[in-house]
Amino acid sequence: MTNNPSDTVRADFMSMTPEELGAYTVSLGEKPYRAAQLFSWMAKGAPLDAMTNLPAAFRKKLAEEGEYRRPEIERKLVSAIDGTVKYLYRMTDGECVESVFMHYEHGTSLCVSSQAGCAMGCRFCASTLNGKVRSLTASEILGQAAVTAYDTGERVDGIVLMGIGEPLDNYDNVVRFLHLVSDERGMGIGLRHISLSTCGLVPRIYDLAGEGLPVTLSVSLHASDDETRSALMPVNRRYPIAELLAACRAYFEKTGRRVSFEYTLIAGRNDSREDAARLADVLKKGMRAPCHVNLILLNEVKETGLETPQKARANEFMNELVSRGVNATIRRRLGADINASCGQLRLQRQKAGEGA
Ligand code: SAH
């Protein structure tokens, strides 16, 4: 891990591993065992004044000399349909990002953001409309999970890095986050219960394969030919489909983890039967390894002018893939009444700010 959180002027101590926190705690004149207590409290999402077994003087020192980058809840929406909770979290500098807490039969899952805004420019996406402001620190990504657990009183069983931002454009902080969130002394979320979604930054996929972290790689494909994909996702001009699939295959070979592909259906752009047939072909030739396709109905973002197809279209698309031997499912939409897809609350708040 390259970035050292104690290098900053005010130490970002929630980004520290227990070992780094031990050294920091000692530097503040405290006994090393206080670091384990502090790490465990932070993993629970507790504010400093709730850490009652830590000396008040130590907590004061942490507040004054360090910076506890625990996100605050700016807004919270709860779905009346399925109990999905959407948070708008405010970082210590005022930047806001979204997280979505979902309940499935097999447990809970939290979708977290990795950046404030996004630089990737995908045509259909709300998160990238105003570009990227900055990457989140490991603490700010971890904090979304910890504070959600604190606020709901529930355990977060799994995490998907599918919120605002491109996780592989914030590589070091995301890898640090993966170490922190899976640490048994903290949240202890198994890496096998974590998915990282990327638009396809090929060199970083190879890097991630080499980290020895068994996370599921989820790749946003959204098209089966380079022309269509480049029109929807500018990143494809840099890393075209063949190179991307070669990286996915390498990821599978190195980690043994089945790669999953996201394919958002957009009316008239990528949702025809021919698109499905070509997708099956491209995956079979390019991957030659087990994979799964998650079909997503476009969540319409007014500014993009793109439209979502009929549900029947999605079923036809899925059947075409399955009949050609490709695993595919349509993603169930949770929190439909609270617009739980990411990027839209942050956008609303930015607009409100501009109008003020
Ligand atoms: N940057 C990462 C992760 C964030 S987006 C990535 O590109 O994978 C999470 C998923 O939602 C991606 O598959 C993304 O393409 C998709 N997505 C973004 N906007 C969407 C929209 N309006 N409707 C449906 N899916 C969308």
Q: Distance, CA 220 to ligand 1 centroid (Å)?
A: 7
Q: How do beta strands 291-297 and 328-330 pair? A: parallel
- Domain 11-65 in CATH 1.10.150.530: yes
Please give the average per-residue pLDDT across 255-267, as a whole number: 97
**DSSP labels for 251-318?**
HHHHH-PPEEEEEEE-TTTT-SHHHHHHHHHHHHHHH-S-EEEEEEE----GGG---PPPHHHHHHHH
Pick the more confident residue, 344 or 323. Answer: 323
Tens digit of each residue's pLDDT (9 = 90 or more) over 29-63: 999 999 999 999 999 999 999 999 999 999 999 99
Q: How far is the CA of 167 from the centre of ligand 1 (A)?
A: 12
- Would you call 122 a catalytic residue per the annotation? no
Kindly report the number of other CB atoms within 10 A of residue 129's CB atom.
16
The pLDDT of residue 337 is above 90: no
Asked if residue 4 has pLDDT above 70, the reply is no
CATH number 3.90.1310.10 is the correct assignment for the domain at 72-354? no
Q: Kindly tell me if the per-residue pLDDT of 356 is higher than 80.
A: no
List the structure tokens of 79.
Answer: 């779905």
Query: How far, in Å, is the centroid of ligand 1 from the Cα of 254?
Result: 25
pLDDT at site 355? 44
Asked whether this chain's domains 11-65 and 72-354 adopt the same fold, the reply is no
Atom of ligand 1 lying closest to residue 122 CA: 15
Summarised one tens digit per residue, pLDDT across range 117-135 is 999 999 999 999 999 999 9
Task: Determine whether 30 is an active site residue.
Answer: no
- What pLDDT is stored for residue 42 in this prediction? 98
User: How many CB atoms sit inside 10 A of residue 83's CB?
Assistant: 14
pLDDT per position as a tens digit, 269-295: 999 999 999 999 999 999 988 899 999
pLDDT at 55: 97
Does 69 score more than 80 pLDDT?
Answer: yes
- Split at pLDDT 50, 70, 90, the class of 267 is very high
Nearest CA to ligand 1 atom 3: 162
Task: Select the more confidently predicted residue: 335 or 249.
Answer: 249
Q: For residues 317-331, give the mean pLDDT.
A: 96
Which of 305, 142, 278, 144 has its CA nearest to residue 222? Answer: 278
Report the pLDDT averaged over residues 239-258. 97
Q: In this model, does residue 341 exceed pLDDT 90? A: no
pLDDT computed for residue 345 by the predictor: 78
Pocket test for ligand 1, best of 125, 128, 297 (most atoms within 8 A of CB): 125
Taking only the tens place, the pLDDT of each residue in 95-107 is 999 999 999 999 9
Cβ atoms within 10 Å, residue 278: 16
Q: Enumerate residues lining ligand 1, CB below 6 A.
A: 122, 124-125, 162, 166, 197-199, 220, 262, 264, 296, 298-299, 301, 341
- Residue 339: is its pLDDT beyond 80? no
pTM of the predicted model as reported, rounded to 2 decimal places: 0.95
* Whole-number percent of the chain with pLDDT over 90: 89
Q: Whose CA is closest to atom 21 on ligand 1?
A: 299
* Digit-coded pLDDT (tens) for 171-193: 999 999 999 999 999 999 999 99
Confidence of residue 2 (pLDDT cuts 50, 70, 90): very low
| Residue 326 CA to ligand 1 centre (angstroms) | 21
Percentage of the chain surpassing pLDDT 70?
96
The mean-pLDDT minimum among 4-13, 109-118, 165-174, 182-191 falls in: 4-13
- Residue ID of nearest Cα to ligand 1 atom 11: 162
- Model confidence at 8: pLDDT above 60: no
Angle at the Cα of 249 from the Cα atoms of 246 and 252, rounded to 5 degrees? 155
Domain ranges of the chain: 11-65, 72-354
Bridge partners for 260 per DSSP? 218, 292
Question: Which of the following is catalytic: 98, 166, 262, 320?
Answer: 98
